[in-house]
Amino acid sequence: MVVIIHADASPEERTEIARALVAAGTQGALHPVHAAAGDLYVADGAAIGARARARLAALPGVVRVVDVPVPYPLASRTLQPARTVVPVGNVRIGGGEPVIIAGPCAVADETRIFAAAEAARAAGAHILRGGAYKPRTSPYSFQGLGAEGVELLARAGAAVGLPVVTEVMEPGLVGAVATHADILQVGSRNMQNFPLLRAVGRAGRPVLLKRGFAATIEEWLLAAEYVLAEGNPHVILCERGIRGFDPQTRNVLDLACVPLLARLTHLPVIVDPSHATGRRELVVSLAVAAVAAGADGVMVEMQPEPETAISDAAQTIGPEELRALVSQARAVRAALDGAAVLA
């Protein structure tokens, strides 16, 4: 259940609403979650009876009471039927054109990140990606350049006119990373790092939330709910594959989630075929397939000399493959838009 109260409701009115919730059998906790159109959205975790609901709706300060049939009210289409468009500089994620995010898995040094930025822009990418803080399975693997890598990425993006996205791993690093990054990425391993989700929700930057490699769609949307509940409406969901049993690919790319999420949530959805497949030769085909399935964009690992990538070389494509991806993605989206007009 979601109670929507006036933004200028008095403390006394809010207290009375809380008492009414307690009387109705709920915990009575009012959680301010998102200010919009002069109203303050306040969520409570339980449904209440029809009479109690009517009494609550009649209280001063209450705009309306909404029953939401899912546990992620802010991410659902119940409260917001219209799709969310996330602005990042001049880029609009969810605005119709498939957004291409490209760059190296890890920022290795100044020369390579600037070369990757030039290649990404020349191929038609919209956003530059690069990892500075790297969550690695082994403690002996390259962990990233940290703050230096974030600054290099930001400089490279500014040099070619592309906004940048990079991962942040700890709540204490969010402020420093947000100073340089246009989008904060929460990686698959941190999808349920709830303190981190709250911190990025308060950072004032769009958040790219990757699906955990063993997460259900509901768990993923509930992770997004943590960010939305902190007052940040700009969440981008990223499908990056879920763990399977066949070693031929790194993960199983769940493209069925793309049209399903379009029904469940108003949030934009992009797809990362690099981490899903782990194989360079599959990235372009599955990126285009993601656009055909309705994805709002794709995120791929790319650098001018893929074989020399310091991290994830086997799944990193080169500039030629990126150009093909951009061209094919645009053609597929244009064909789909044309078919929709004819229908």
Considering 15, 33, 66, which residue would you say is the last residue of a domain?
66
What is the span of the domain harbouring residue 21? 2-66
Domain count for the chain, please give it: 2
**Tokens 């400089």 — which residue?**
155
Mean pLDDT of 71-81: 90
Tens-place pLDDT, residues 149-171: 999 999 999 999 999 999 999 99
77 located within any domain? no
Q: Note whether 62 and 90 are same-domain residues.
A: no
The answer to whether residues 12 and 118 belong to one domain is no
Is 38 a residue whose pLDDT tops 50? Answer: no
**61 and 91, same domain (yes or no):** no
Question: Do 96 and 59 sit in the same domain of this protein?
Answer: no
pLDDT tens-digit map of 267-284: 999 999 999 999 999 999
Tell whether 242 and 136 lie within a shared domain.
Answer: yes
CATH number at residue 250: 3.20.20.70
Same domain assignment for residues 91 and 60: no
Whole-angstrom distance, CA of residue 221 vs CA of residue 209: 10
pLDDT at 32: 59
Q: Are residues 95 and 33 in the same domain?
A: no
Residue 343 clears pLDDT 80, i.e. is over it: no
Q: 39 and 91: one domain? A: no
In a domain, residue 79? The reply is: no
Answer for the pair 305, 317: CB distance below 8 angstroms, yes or no.
no
- Are residue 37 and residue 108 in the same domain, yes or no? no
The pLDDT, as a whole number, for residue 337 is: 87
On whether residue 75 sits in a domain, the answer given is no
Cα separation, 203 vs 181, in Å, equals: 11
- Residue 78 within any structural domain of the chain: no
Q: Which residue has the higher pLDDT, 48 or 90?
A: 90
Model pTM score = 0.92
Same domain assignment for residues 129 and 30: no
pLDDT digits over 60-72, tens only?
989 888 888 888 9
Sheet holding 39-43, edge to edge: 31-36, 39-43, 2-6, 62-66
- Two tokens, residue 161: 């006119």
Does a structural domain hold residue 253?
Answer: yes
- Is residue 274 situated within a structural domain? yes
* Digit-coded pLDDT (tens) for 185-199: 999 999 999 999 999
Same domain, residue pair 201 and 163: yes
Judge whether 74 lies within some domain: no
- The band of 44, judged by pLDDT with boundaries at 50, 70 and 90, is low
The two three-digit tokens of residue 144, written as one number:
């990233």
User: What DSSP line would sit under 249-290, residue for residue?
Assistant: SSSB--TTHHHHHHHHBSS-EEE-HHHHH--HHHHHHHHHHH
In a domain? residue 38: yes
Same domain as 130, residue 259: yes
Give the domain CATH number at 44.
3.30.70
Residues in the chain: 343
Cα angle 169-100-318, degrees, rounded to a multiple of 5: 90
